[in-house]
């Protein structure tokens, strides 16, 4: 009887010590609004933009494609679908930039990318990965608008 009591007591104390508790700062309505799971996380699609197979010496065409690329970026930001975007400094892997898209599937993400002229023309080529990150990530864009001195 004594070994069973010791085992039961040990099991009970371990269960208490290792059980998860709800943080006092937890905001369930905000978590729901942002699509966060119990860890405050959600799935996104991470896009690595690489130098594409198309190249040209036509500066007007390149400028036009990149203008369309920026317009697509702005459209996706306004729609709440592009969470992070930015260039990557010159490197030996031909990476040019990243996107983090608020998309659950590659098909959904590819739908957003299909409207980008630089990707259509293969000036840029995307590599897609599922990424699990903070559901609060989209909220940083509002702060960025407040600290961005020059709009591009």
Residues with Cβ within 8 Å of 121's Cβ and at least 6 positions away in sequence, in order, are 52, 54, 65
Q: pTM of this prediction?
A: 0.79
State the total domains in the chain.
1
What CATH number does residue 107 fall under? 3.30.70.1060
pLDDT in tens, 67-125: 999 999 999 999 999 999 999 999 999 999 999 999 999 999 999 999 999 999 999 99
Domain hosting residue 47, numbered range? 26-147
The H or E element containing residue 100 is strand 95-101
Q: Does a structural domain hold residue 21?
A: no
Q: Does a structural domain hold residue 57?
A: yes
């Amino acid at each position: 009887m004594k070994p069973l009591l010791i085992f039961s007591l040990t099991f009970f104390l371990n269960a208490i010590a290792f059980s998860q508790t709800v943080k006092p700062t937890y905001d369930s309505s905000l978590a729901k609004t942002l699509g966060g799971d119990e860890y405050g996380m959600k799935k996104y699609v991470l896009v690595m933009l690489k130098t594409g197979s198309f190249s040209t010496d036509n500066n007007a065409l390149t400028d036009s494609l990149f203008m369309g690329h920026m317009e697509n970026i702005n459209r996706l930001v306004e729609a709440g679908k592009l969470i992070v975007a930015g260039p990557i400094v010159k490197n030996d892997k031909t990476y040019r930039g990243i996107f983090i898209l608020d998309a659950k599937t590659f098909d959904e993400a590819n739908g957003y990318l299909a409207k980008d002229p630089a990707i259509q023309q293969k000036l840029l080529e995307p590599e897609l990965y599922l990424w699990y990150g903070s559901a609060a990530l989209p909220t940083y864009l509002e702060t960025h608008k407040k600290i961005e001195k020059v709009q591009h």
